[in-house]
Structure 1
Amino acid sequence: MKRFFPLLLLAFLSLPLSAAPPSDEINLDIGTPPVIIVKHSLAQRSSRLVYFYDPGIIGLGYDGMIKMRDDSRLNLPQRQIAGKLIDQENPDRNSLIYAIAEGHGGQQFEPAVRAAQIKRWKAQFHSGWWIEDAQGNWSQKP
Structure 2
Amino acid sequence: MAAALALSACVTINVYFPAAEAKEAAKEFVEKVIGEDAPQSAPAKPDGGGMADAHGPSPGFDPLTLLGISPAYAQSSPDITIKTPAIQAIQSRMASRFDGSLRAHFDSGALGFGNDGEIEVRDASKIALGERVAVNQAVAEQNRDAKAVYREIAVANKHPEWEAQIRSVFARQWADSARGGWWYQDSGGAWKQK
TM-score, scaled relative to structure 2:
0.59
Q: 20-29 or 131-140: which moved more? A: 20-29
Distance 1:114 1:74, change over 3 A: closer
Distance 1:20 1:93, change over 3 A: farther
* Separation of aligned partners in 2, 1:92 and 1:74: 22
The 8 Å contact of residues 23 and 115 in structure 1, kept in 2 or not, is answered as: no
* Alignment root-mean-square deviation, CA: 2.0
The structure whose RCO (Cα within 8 Å, separation 6+) is larger is 1
- Aligned-residue offset at 1:17: 8.3
Corresponding position: 1:113 with 2:166: yes
The 8 Å contact of residues 22 and 112 in structure 1, kept in 2 or not, is answered as: no
The equivalent of 1:33 in structure 2 is 85
The 8 Å contact of residues 58 and 68 in structure 1, kept in 2 or not, is answered as: yes
Which of residues 109, 120, 127 is equivalent to 1:74?
127
* Separation of aligned partners in 1, 2:18 and 2:165: 6
The 8 Å contact of residues 101 and 110 in structure 1, kept in 2 or not, is answered as: yes
Please say which structure displays the higher CA radius of gyration: 2
* Separation of aligned partners in 1, 2:136 and 2:18: 34
TM-score, scaled relative to structure 1:
0.79
Letter in 1 for 2:17: P
The 8 Å contact of residues 87 and 153 in structure 2, kept in 1 or not, is answered as: yes
The 8 Å contact of residues 57 and 69 in structure 1, kept in 2 or not, is answered as: yes
The equivalent of 2:118 in structure 1 is 65
- 2:181 aligns to what SS in structure 1? coil
The 8 Å contact of residues 19 and 108 in structure 1, kept in 2 or not, is answered as: no
* Separation of aligned partners in 2, 1:128 and 1:110: 30
* Separation of aligned partners in 2, 1:111 and 1:87: 19
Letter in 2 for 1:25: E
The equivalent of 1:135 in structure 2 is 188
